[in-house]
Amino acid sequence: MTPGNVRVRRFQLNANGRDFAVGDIHGHFGRLDVSLAAVKFSPEKDRLFSVGDLVDRGPDSADVLKWLERPWFHAICGNHDLMTWRRAMGNPIPNVDHRVHGGG
């Protein structure tokens, strides 16, 4: 099975650095960068886990692809991510207008 098909992924203890969890980024990756700098986040040893809602609302939603490529950034799909993805694929969730939930 490829990593994209794994439903549950387990991570070993990060004995060399720190782990951070963040939710509801909603396309504000610039703000996230500022916050990571404030805690002196180290990409060489720290990890960042996103618990969903990477896109919608904020000005940097397109940057999500850059963040998903970073080896220290781990994310799960939130409801806003799912709504956006389904709309982009031409298969919107029935009776759900993602624009009402912040999508653009």
Q: Indicate whether 1 pLDDT > 70.
A: no
**Residue of 26, 28, 80, 98 marked active site:** 80
- The overall pTM is greater than 0.75: yes
**86 CB-near residues (< 8 Å, 6+ apart):** 92, 93, 98
pLDDT value at residue 85: 87
Is 101 an active-site residue?
A: no
- Annotation: CATH topology of 19-101: Purple Acid Phosphatase; chain A, domain 2 (3.60.21)
Q: Indicate whether 94 pLDDT > 90.
A: no
Domain ranges (residues) in the chain = 19-101
Token code pair at residue 86: 């389904």
For residue 37, give the 3-state DSSP assignment.
Answer: helix
pLDDT value at residue 2: 55
